[in-house]
């Protein structure tokens, strides 16, 4: 065995151990949100702190740096996957070692207090009690960005944590192009005299039937229950623990069909990606998802591009009608399809429709940049939020709990995370368009409840690739283009132009 190969093997053994520790923390995180008794919270915090400390110690072990340097000095003999593992471990090692441990601990310490205060601030819609903690977190996050390093904008350093290699300039360009087309579309829809009968989805939908129907829909996509499960939580999520264990969650609303059902489709989209990752590469980065944007593209693709399509309801409407005869016996497929696609500017991001959702993200992206660059003082955030929000969405924020206090992210210093949500929508549109081009029969397949060809295509082109390629390269290989707003806008114009009969 060559010296490089020996070093690589040792590095991968260390990576495998870190991955196992991460997967253990995932089980504990899932349990905390699902079944942990209330009084177990204190011990759980200690357990998770121990595991994250372990992970950090393992990743920032100088031996990792030595091995990386040794391999990089003579990397010619690495295979594609080996090179990808080294590339991503280098990125993780740099992230873990550039920031002093004291600063990481300080951010954790302040986050605990900030989170508690944020919960109370949101409950009472009182920005003032959150501001001192938020101010401190912003200061520490800026220090962190300086340590991480950047070329153009400190926000680049933060973005890079969730979207390796992404830049503020590129996201700005994409979002600007998107907004230019999106704002007039939202306006045209608002001006349309055509309105969906949204009361249809606000009737009585018994939860036990919702569970059966929702699980069935996830299984129909190909989500594997032998390697997964569906549980009830307050804030739905998907946890990929590792090969053979990917769990999704939802919450139930007996008087609103969309909440649990599209939530399940969304999380099963994440779940399909996780279940499709290359199990034989588990332990190294290649066995893991490449970034939040691609992850979100898959939840959005299955939730919206498939699950909110007319094709989908051609097959599923008779079935949903049978599952909920009291609510839907007198409803037509077209009315139902329109009702689950209603567009209405609203204040809460997580409840936003397909068209307005990205505008919610742009508000946050614009503000976060100003916050991190220092152009926006913490005391001015509420006013800036309300002004930007009205400019983008055309409605006035009535109180901060429905404005700048609604999201959890800032309370743990998660600046730079939001853009991934909108990038996911763009990537999802791009990937779905490519899938359609590759399989001209896709519409008919979906309309006959056959998702296997789409899943197989995504499996081959996206899921099984893991972190082999960075996001832009993966997109270019799969779709032939760089990230673009056009496929999403083409899709939105076609779909909502028809629904709202826009000229």
When the beta carbons of 169 and 212 are compared against its own copies, the nearer one is: 212
HSE (CB half, 13 Å, CA atoms) of 134?
27
For strand 245-250 and strand 238-242, is the pairing parallel, antiparallel, or unpaired? Answer: antiparallel
The region of 37-45, 384-392, 413-421, 450-458 touching its own copies under the rule CB under 8 A is 37-45
Binds its own copies (CB under 8 A): choice among 51, 104, 119, 220: 51
Distance CA(361)–CA(368), nearest Å, equals 10
The runs of H, that is alpha helices, within 35-79 are 41-59, 62-73
Task: Check binding of 228 to its own copies (CB under 8 A).
Answer: yes
As measured in angstroms, the least distance from the Cβ of 59 to its own copies is 16
Q: In whole angstroms, how far apart are CA 22 and each of 41, 56, 96, 98? A: 19, 10, 15, 21
Q: Are 299 and 266 in contact (CB under 8 A)?
A: yes
Helix (H) or strand (E) holding 391: helix 381-393
CA geometry: angle at 333 spanning 329 and 337, to 5°?
120
Residue (30 or 118) nearer to its own copies, CB? 30
33, 72, 181, 245: which one contacts its own copies (CB under 8 A)?
245
Total Cβ atoms within 10 A of residue 278 = 18
Query: Residue 438 interacts with its own copies (CB under 8 A)?
Result: no
- Give the pair of three-digit tokens for residue 487: 């496929």
Going by C-beta distance under 8 Å and a sequence separation of 6 or more, which residues neighbour residue 360? 349, 352, 393
Q: Which of 1, 2, 39, 503 binds its own copies (CB under 8 A)?
A: 39
Classified as helix, coil or strand, 426 is helix
Q: Please choose, from the candidates 149, 134, 142, 209, the residue with its C-alpha nearest in 3D space to the C-alpha of residue 381.
A: 134
- For its own copies, which stretch binds (CB under 8 A), given 173-181, 236-244, 323-331, 403-411? 236-244
C-alpha separations of 405 from 238, 347, 489 in Å:
24, 11, 29
**Is residue 44 close enough to count as binding its own copies by CB under 8 A?**
yes
- Residues that contact its own copies, how many (by CB under 8 A): 37
Q: How far apart are CA 226 and CA 216, in angstroms?
A: 14
394: left (phi over 0), alpha (psi -120 to 50) or beta: left
CB closer to its own copies out of 58 and 370 = 58
Judged by CB under 8 A, does residue 153 bind its own copies? no
Between the alpha carbon of residue 195 and those of residues 204, 257, 335, 465, the distances in Å are 21, 18, 10, 42
Angle at 185 between CA 184 and CA 187, to 5 degrees: 65
Distance in Å, CB of 49 to its own copies, minimum = 9
399 near its own copies (CB under 8 A): no
Q: Which positions are annotated as active-site residues?
A: 267
Asked if 207 is part of the footprint of its own copies (rule: CB under 8 A), the reply reads no
d(CA 399, CA 347): 10
Region from 45-53, 60-68, 114-122, 146-154 binding its own copies, contact rule CB under 8 A = 45-53
For its own copies, the binding residue among 71, 121, 241, 405 (CB under 8 A) is 241
Using rule CB under 8 A, residue 243 touches its own copies: yes
Q: What is the dihedral of CA 188, 191, 195, 201, to 10 degrees?
A: 70
Stretch that binds its own copies, among 16-24, 138-146, 161-169, 490-498 (CB under 8 A): 16-24
Q: How far apart are CA 36 and CA 42, in angstroms?
A: 11
Interface pick for its own copies out of 3, 28, 139, 501 (rule CB under 8 A): 28
- The nearer residue to its own copies, 42 or 440, going by C-beta atoms, is 42
* Residue 33 binds its own copies (CB under 8 A): no
**Nearest residue (CB) to its own copies, 228 versus 276:** 228
Number of H helices, E strands in the chain: 21, 3
Q: Is 20 in the site for its own copies (CB under 8 A)?
A: yes
Q: Which is nearer to its own copies, 166 or 267 (CB)?
A: 267
Binding mask 249-288 for its own copies (x = CB under 8 A): ---------------------------------x------
Question: Is 208 a residue that touches its own copies (CB under 8 A)?
Answer: no
CA 35 from centre of chain: 24
CA 124 from centre of chain: 28
Which residue, 281 or 397, has its beta carbon nearer to its own copies? 281
From the CB of 284, what's the least distance to its own copies, in Å? Answer: 15
* CA gap 251, 239 in Å, rounded: 15
Instruction: Give 28 or 383: the residue with its C-beta nearer to its own copies.
Output: 28
Using CB under 8 A, pick the residue from 231, 444, 482, 490 that binds its own copies. 231
Q: Does 419 bind its own copies (CB under 8 A)?
A: no
Of 5, 13, 41, 129, which lies in the binding site for its own copies, with binding defined by CB under 8 A? 41
43 touches its own copies by CB under 8 A: yes
23 touches its own copies by CB under 8 A: yes
Q: Which residues bind its own copies (CB under 8 A)?
A: 17, 20-21, 23-24, 27-28, 31, 34-44, 46-47, 50-51, 224-229, 231, 241-245, 247, 282
């Amino acid at each position: 065995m060559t010296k490089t190969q020996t070093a690589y093997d040792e590095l991968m053994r260390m990576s495998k151990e870190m991955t196992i520790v991460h997967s253990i923390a995932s089980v504990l995180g899932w349990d905390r949100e699902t079944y942990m008794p209330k009084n177990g919270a204190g011990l759980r915090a200690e357990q998770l702190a121990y595991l994250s400390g372990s992970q950090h110690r393992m990743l920032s072990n100088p031996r990792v740096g030595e091995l990386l340097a040794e391999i990089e000095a003579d990397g010619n003999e690495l295979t594609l996957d080996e090179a990808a593992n080294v590339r991503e471990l280098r990125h993780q090692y740099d992230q873990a070692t550039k920031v002093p441990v004291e600063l990481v601990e300080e951010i954790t310490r302040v986050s605990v207090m900030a989170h508690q205060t944020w919960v109370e601030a949101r409950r009472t819609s009182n920005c003032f009690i959150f501001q001192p903690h938020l101010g401190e977190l912003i200061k520490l996050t800026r220090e962190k960005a300086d340590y991480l390093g950047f070329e153009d904008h400190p926000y680049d350093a933060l973005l890079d944590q969730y979207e390796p290699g992404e830049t503020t300039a590129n996201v700005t360009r994409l979002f600007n192009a998107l907004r230019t087309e999106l704002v007039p579309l939202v306006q045209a829809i608002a001006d349309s005299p055509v309105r969906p009968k949204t009361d249809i989805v606000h009737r009585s939908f018994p939860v036990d039937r919702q569970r059966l129907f929702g699980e069935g829909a996830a299984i129909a996509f190909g989500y594997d229950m032998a390697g997964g499960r569906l549980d009830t939580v307050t804030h739905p999520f998907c946890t990929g623990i590792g090969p053979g264990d990917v769990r999704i969650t939802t919450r139930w609303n007996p008087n609103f069909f969309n909440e649990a059902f599209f939530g399940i489709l969304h999380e099963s989209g994440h779940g399909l990606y996780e279940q499709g990752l290359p199990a034989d590469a588990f332990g190294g980065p290649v066995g893991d998802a490449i970034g939040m944007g691609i992850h979100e593209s898959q939840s959005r693709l299955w939730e919206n591009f498939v699950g909110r399509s007319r094709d989908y309801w051609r097959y599923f409407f008779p079935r949903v009608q049978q599952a909920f005869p009291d609510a839907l016996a007198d409803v037509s497929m077209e009315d139902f399809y329109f009702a689950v696609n209603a567009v209405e500017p609203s204040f809460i991001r997580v409840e936003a429709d397909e068209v307005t959702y990205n505008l919610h993200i742009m508000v946050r992206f614009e503000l976060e940049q100003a916050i991190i660059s220092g152009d926006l003082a913490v005391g001015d955030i509420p006013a800036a939020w309300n002004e930007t929000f009205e400019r983008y969405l055309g409605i006035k924020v009535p109180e901060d709990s429905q404005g700048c206090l609604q999201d959890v992210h800032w309370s743990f210093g998660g600046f730079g995370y939001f853009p991934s949500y909108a990038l996911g929508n763009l990537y999802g549109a791009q990937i779905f368009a490519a899938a359609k081009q590759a399989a001209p029969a896709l519409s008919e397949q979906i309309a006959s409840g056959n998702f296997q060809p789409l899943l197989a295509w995504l499996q081959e082109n996206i899921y099984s690739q893991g972190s082999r390629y960075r996001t832009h390269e993966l997109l270019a290989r799969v779709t032939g283009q760089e990230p673009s707003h056009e496929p999403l806008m083409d899709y939105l114009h076609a779909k909502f132009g028809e629904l709202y009969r826009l000229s």
